[in-house]
Structure 1
C-alpha cells in the first residue's frame, strides 16, 4: 500500500502535507501537526487568521516555515511566541517540543479565542494563552527563548522581545531575506540589552522546500 493519501488533483500543498517526507520530518507528532493544519485550512481565512492566497500554500509557507525554528530552540525549556496570531510558530513549536512550556502572547481577543480552541482540541498541556501585548508581560515572567513571525521591524521587535528573555536566553525569530538591513538601525536597542552579535541563520526542514531566514540574538 502506498504511504500517500489521495487528495484532490492539483492540490500540491495538500499533497506536500501528506507526503512521506513531511510525515518523517514530524515523526510521531505528525498527526497533531496535520490536525492543526486542517483547522487552519478550514477556518483560517474565515476567521481572519490567514489571507485567501495563503490557504493554497499552507504547509510550505506556514507550517514548515514555523517548524524551521525548532532546531534553534536547543535545550530551552520555556518559549514565548509574541503576536502569536494563528499560532505560527508557537503552536507548531509546542507540538514538536512537548517538553517545552510555550506562552502564546496575542492582544486580539478573537485570535486568543482561536489559540485556546486549538490548545484544547489538540490537548496541548504545555501551552498557555495570554491575551495582551508583549510589553504587558515584561515584569511577569522570563523565558529561555522569545520567538515571533512577521511582527515588527527589528528595532521595535527587540524592545518587545528581549525583556522577556532571561539573561543567557535569546530571541529566535523568523525574518525575511533582507533582515540584515534591520540590524544597524537596531544596534542601539541591542546594546542596551547587552546582546551578542546577531546571527542570520538558515532554517531548513525538508528537501524541495525553500529554507527560511532566522535571526538569533542572544542576551549576554
Structure 2
C-alpha cells in the first residue's frame, strides 16, 4: 500500500491513511525545507521565552518580590520589561552589577528578533511569481504582518529563515551563558555548546557543553 502521495509541483507529501473520501485538502506549496526551518524558529523561540520566564520566576522569588499572579499571561514585550527590571534589581542586590549590560543586550536583541519570529509564525503568507519570471521556477513566498503599527514583511527564503533560526538560537545561548555567570539555579539540565566547538567539526557526541547548573 502507498503511504504517501506527492502532489506534483506542490511538493507536498500527504499521508494516505489520513486522506478521506468526500473531503478536500488545501495545499500550501511551501517546500519542506522551508517548513522545517519555520518549525525550528518557532521551537527555538519558545525555548527562549520559557527560560526567560524561568529567570523571572527565580529572581522574583529571590528578591521576595512576587509579580502580579497573571504575569505569565502578559504579552512578551511586557514580560521582557519585567525581566529586565528584575535582573537589574537582582544584580544590584547581589553585588553583580557588571553583568547588567549583558542582560540589557539580551533584551534588546530579543526585541529585534521577536517581531520577525511573529511575522514568520503568525503572518499572512502571500504567494508571488518567481523573481526570474520563469514559471518553472519555485513560487516565492512573502510573510506579511505588523510591527509597532507598521506593515512589515519577510521573504520566506532558506537563507533568511536559516539566519533567523541561528540568531534566535544564539539569543538563547547568550541567556544561558549569562545565567551561568550569575549562578542561576535551573530545574533541568541544558545543552549549550559554544560555537567554537561546533566549528571544529568534532565527531558527534564529543562536543563540550557549558556547565549549566541544575537543581537535580
> Which structure is larger by alpha-carbon Rg, 1 or 2?
2
Question: TM bucket by the smaller chain?
Answer: under 0.3
- Give the TM-score normalised by the residue count of structure 1: 0.25
